[in-house]
Amino acid sequence: MRYFDYTATTPIDKEVLETYIKVQDSYFANTSSLHSLGQKSNALFEQASAEIKDLFGLKQHNIVYTSNATEANNLAIYGIVEKHIRGKLITTKIEHPSVFEVFKNLERKGYDVVYLDVDEKGIIDIKQLQREIDKNTILVSIMWVNNIVGSIQPIKEIIKIVSGYPKTKLHVDAVQGIGKINPDFNFKDIDLFTISAHKIYGPKGIGALIYNQNIDLYKRLYGSSAQYGVKPGTIDLALVVSLCKALKKYLPLTEEHYQYVLSLNRRFRSKLENQEGIIFNSCLEASPYIINLSLPHINGETIVHILEEKEIYLSTGSACSSKLKKPEKTIYNMTKSELLATTTIRIGLSHLLSQTDIDDLAQEIGEIANV
């Protein structure tokens, strides 16, 4: 079995799993309970949260733990926007569905939403952002690393632009960048950002919304004051500590893993970039962890199933929308080609892969392209 869908999810790291089991067994008491067992659990919760903040260089931010990044993105966007009856919102045409569909819903509710264009590399036009942002802009939401092609947005420049409008908040979906790309910006300069554990060898079932403590988010859920009232309810301490464990293990390894995966990416490209019938949609400057390509003469879903029969597993695009059977919107907005957008496959790389894995995958895709 050869797995190339690490962009969709990663296997849980053994040390992280051991941490999860230990905490679930030894710290089962509710973190809100007043008795000593509850206070013991709460102390571990506070320690894990403090360590996560330290990893990101944060002192003025709150953390709200969620079930996943989709929930975190929803809480972030609605938390800002629903405190305003009307206003202008800015996002891009290639956001993850958990962001893009939220803005579509807000647009239906009467908010003025601007969807920034992207070029053939999947990068926004900074000048368009400068033209569109104004004093009535409530929120700008732009992902750091695209989940389909790996394009890396100029977050540092975006922060600088948004900072010129004190009433405008910046939200960044950082899921595909954390533990994979070293940022050229400071997380403390972002108003709200979202992460997910299962993209960095942590458990499924936990993400986080991390936001500046000066922001008063609109409350959509009621029941307790836990997690600043943003997501009330009992906290799964084992998941929180496991997220912390994954971050502590993999953030320091970001550069080492980046360089290795970059070498795998280049090796794969070198074997197929000149082959007829294969078009690379991911540019060289994109995250090396994501390779998106199209075989224009064959449907992407068909390729996935052909490879599956050989126990090679990859995807056509976002796992959150893979069953919709529509042209992939990121590819379409980059290429303006419905053909390329319906014949795309996404390869998610990892430091766990070997050169032999890469060679075998390239050979199999090359043979499909020659059919």
Cα separations in angstroms, 28 against 24, 33, 35, 233: 6, 11, 13, 15
Active site annotation includes 320:
yes
- Region of 167 (left: φ > 0; alpha: ψ -120 to 50; beta: rest) is alpha
Question: How many CB atoms lie under 10 A from the CB of residue 219?
Answer: 16
DSSP state of 232: -
Catalytic residue from among 132, 320, 337, 364: 320
Q: Where are the beta strands (DSSP E) in 42-168?
A: 61-66, 88-92, 112-116, 137-141
Cα separations in angstroms, 105 against 77, 102, 258: 11, 5, 36
Tell me the C-alpha distance between 68 and 195, whole Å: 8
Give just the sign of the alpha carbon dihedral 51, 56, 61, 66. negative
Tell me the C-alpha distance between 61 and 190, whole Å: 10
Q: Which residues are catalytic?
A: 320
